[in-house]
Structure 1
Amino acid sequence: MQNLATFLTRLQTFDLRIITKGELQNRIKEEEQKQAYSLVHETQYYKSFTYKSETRVLKDTALIELLSLNDISIKRELVQLKKLKERFKLFWTNFQQSYRELQTEYPRSYIFSIGLDHLFIVKNLQPDHIDIFIGDEFVESLSDSVKLRETFLNQLINDVEGTLYPRETFEEFNARMKNQESRKNTSENVSTKIPYNEDAGMPKFSEQFTGDFLQLMKTYFSEAHHTLLSTLINANIQPENQLIFRGNGNQLADAFKQLYEANLIVGCKKSDLEKWIAKHFLYATGDVPKEYTEGWLSSIISTDTKFCKSPIMEVRVKDKIPTIVPTVRNKKNSKY
């Protein structure tokens, strides 16, 4: 299982680089030779596209290797893959607890405080008493890198599960039901395939409050994307491309979480909502849109901790009647 081992090692290894101020674009106002951590080379943005391509190839070769095994062995390996998925979720919980919007510098102990060295392999990590700058550039690169790794892990898990537990089409399901009906008196085993249901796990928005929510969202989506958002929410018409939310990613996640917990989104579990958001949305605080991942979203939506420090809305309930209220933003302290 060399290919699988190589892929999993890649996902769990962070190769930190120590660079000088001249290689950073930040707001350090100290000596020119200030040292800082960098991880931008292990993201999919800027000039580091090779990392993404290499990781994708490793994922594909790992899948080929897995599918050569018998079902019992594949299931055993799938259990281990899901354990790694849970470790990524734990990382995101730690990450969100330490993340600060608009913060430009983090404590020297940051990497240790979020448990990165405990959860994964971290190369070139220096003791926290050594003066190495940790800035928002590094924290954002770490977030981007983990999202990329998590995305490929989820793709591998989904591909394996799709092989072990194939879903049948609506036509196949109907045909099987007719065959079973005609063989009621036989002892044939029933197929373990999961019947097709296109509405299963889809979030359904309360029609009474959809207009208020969409009106609030006009500030954060382009006109074209806001129109597509309206048809997605009102008619479940899937957009061809992901919709870009103009703001911090946790702001949109927090908004959907509030709607869900106020029962203004029904028909799905929180995990379904997280998958739906990851499928349909990107977010951007600059020129480059970034992806959501289920683990990152889970750390916000499926926990009781409030990680969003600058929410864009609040759901208030009075006499059991909810109201969506836009949050008053302090423009002096906000980039959006």
Structure 2
Amino acid sequence: MTGLIQFLTKIQTFELRIIAKAELKSPIKQDGNKPAYSLGHETHYYDSFTYKSEIRVLKDMALIDLVSLSDTSLKRELEQLKKLKDRFKLIWANFHEHYNEFKDEYPRNFIFSIQLQYLFIVNNLQSDYKDIYIGDEFVESLLDTLKIRDKFLSELVNEIDEIINPHETFEEWMAKQESPQQTEDVALEQPTKIPYNPEAGRPKFNHQFTGDFLKLLMTYFSEEHFVQLTALIKLDEQPITQLIFNGRGNQLADAFKQLYEANLIVGCNKAELEKWVLKHFLYSIRDKVNEYTEGWLSAVISSDTKVCKSPILEVRIKDKVPFLVPTLRNKKNSKY
């Protein structure tokens, strides 16, 4: 089980580095000799491109270890992995509560406020934290490395879950209904499979408001991707590729959340809405394309925490009728 141990250790350990503030890529160089936390070496946010590949390889090694187990042992391991996923959901909720995309500098107790040291192993964390600078460069790197870890943990959990509980296709399920006797014989030999319905859990948009909603989103997508977005929302046509939202990821997630809570999106629960967003969208900040993760989206869409400091829209109610209102776009000066 060496591969599994290495993977779990890697995604639960944060190796903080302390560098001079002047070494940060941020142009803010006042008090340049003061110490600052850095995590840039653990992410691809700046110059490190190997970390993500390393986590991917360790995840594959962990999968090899797990598939060699008996069914009973595999189920036990899956339960433990799901508990770890819950801890990632908690760190995302804490992170979003204290994250502000417009801050240059964060409180010195930021790491303790989000309980990073409680939920995971944090090496080189200084007890005299008041002397260590924490800027948005560190927080954005932390955001990146959390996403990488969460992404591959979720992939491992989903792969193991599929091995234990394989989903038969809707066509396979329908074929069984035509042969009930054969179905009974198979049922005695195999555990029941869950029939797959491709229509289940897909968000359905209230067509009365889709025009206004798409008009608000138009400036956030390229022309090509906006055409595919329109087909996705109006006709449920699957896009050729994932659609890139040119803005902060929580802005798009917050927009879908507001529509859902106003019953302008139906046909799914919030968890299914999160999976739909995860499947179809990416977002781009400072010309860097980012992926969503299950835990990150859950902290925005399923949590009641107020997380979006710069929403792109607001759903208001007048005479019991909802309507969409655009909000002013706040912009943070690019420093990288």
TM-score above 0.5, yes or no = yes
* 1:148 and 2:143 aligned: no
Q: For 1:171 and 1:278, how far apart are their aligned partners in 2?
A: 25
Structure 1 residue aligned with 2:7: 7
Is 1:77 paired with 2:73? no
**1:61 and 2:75 correspond:** no
Q: Where does structure 2 lack aligned partners over 5 or more consecutive residues?
A: none
Moved more, 169-178 or 277-286: 169-178
Distance 1:184 1:85, change over 3 A: closer
Alpha carbons of 1:129 and 1:21: their partners in 2 closer, same or farther (altered >3 Å)? closer
Residues 33 and 199 of structure 1: CA distance in aligned 2, closer, same or farther (over 3 Å): same
Which residue of 2 is the match for residue 120 of structure 1?
A: 120
Aligned residues: 334
Once the two structures are superposed, residues 203-235 of structure 1 have per-residue CA deviations (whole angstroms, 9 ceiling, x without a partner) of 111111111100100121111111111111112
For residues 21-100 of structure 1, the aligned pairs below 5 Å read 21-100=21-100
Instruction: Please report the RMSD computed on the Cα atoms of aligned residues, expressed in angstroms.
Output: 2.0
Q: Is the 8 A contact 1:43 1:145 kept in 2?
A: yes
Instruction: Give deviations 1:88-143, integer Å, cap 9, x for gaps.
Output: 00001110111112100011111011100000000111124441110001101101
Partner Cα separation in structure 2 for residue 12 and residue 137 of structure 1 = 21
Deviation, 1:46, is 3.0
After superposition, where does 1:1-336 map in structure 2 within 5 Å? 1-180=1-180, 188=188, 192-329=192-329
CA distance in 1, matches of 2:185, 2:16: 65
Kindly provide the CA deviation profile for residues 47-96 of structure 1, in whole angstroms up to 9, marking residues without a partner as x: 22211111111100110110111111111000000000000000011101
Instruction: Provide the C-alpha distance between the structure 2 equivalents of 1:122 and 1:213, rounded to a whole number of angstroms.
Output: 43
CA distance in 1, matches of 2:196, 2:132: 54
How far is the alpha carbon of 1:312 from its aligned partner?
Answer: 0.9
SS in 1 for 2:315: strand
Report if the CA contact (8 A) 2:169-2:196 is conserved: yes
| Unpaired runs of at least 5, structure 1 | none
Q: Deviations over 1:262-285 (max 9, x none)?
A: 011111110111111111111122
CA distance in 2, matches of 1:152, 1:20: 32
Output the amino acid matched with 2:143: S
CA distance in 1, matches of 2:110, 2:237: 43
When residues 186 and 167 of structure 1 are mapped into structure 2, their CA distance, relative to the original with a 3 A threshold, is closer
| Deviation at residue 177 of structure 1 after TM alignment | 1.6
Equivalent-residue separation in structure 2 for 1:129 and 1:13 (angstroms): 19
Note closer, same or farther for the CA distance 1:109–1:179 as it changes in structure 2 (3 Å cut): same
Q: Do the aligned residues in 2 keep the contact of 1:44 with 1:148 (CA within 8 Å)?
A: no
Letter in 2 for 1:131: D
Closer, same or farther in 2 for the Cα pair 1:74/1:316, shift >3 Å? Answer: same
Indicate how the Cα distance of structure 1 residues 174 and 23 shifts in structure 2: closer, same or farther if over 3 A, else same. same
Write the letter of the residue equivalent to 1:303: S
Q: CA deviation at 1:27?
A: 3.7
Structure 1 residues 218 and 127: alpha-carbon distance in aligned structure 2, compared to 1, 3 A threshold: same
Q: CA deviation at 1:41?
A: 1.5
- What is the CA–CA distance in structure 2 between the aligned matches of 1:186 and 1:37, rounded to whole Å? 59
Q: For the residues of structure 2 that align with 1:187 and 1:262, how far apart are their CA atoms? A: 43
Q: Is the 8 A contact 1:106 1:134 kept in 2?
A: yes
Distance 1:148 1:129, change over 3 A: closer
Contact kept in structure 2, 1:59 and 1:156, CA below 8 Å: yes
AA of the residue aligned to 2:131: D
Partner deviation per Cα, 1:169-192 (whole Å, 9 max, x = no partner): 233212222222567799947851
Helix, strand or coil: the match of 2:47? Answer: coil
Q: Deviations over 1:280-336 (max 9, x none)?
A: 1111221111111111111111112221112110111122211011113466x787x
The TM-score, its normalising length taken from structure 1, stands at 0.94
> What is the aligned-residue identity percentage?
61
Shift, 1:6, TM fit: 1.1
- Asked if structure 2 preserves the Cα contact closer than 8 Å seen for 1:169 and 1:196, the reply is yes
Change (3 A) 1:155 1:176: same
The AA in structure 2 aligned to 1:26 is S
User: What amino acid sits opposite 1:292 in the alignment?
Assistant: Y
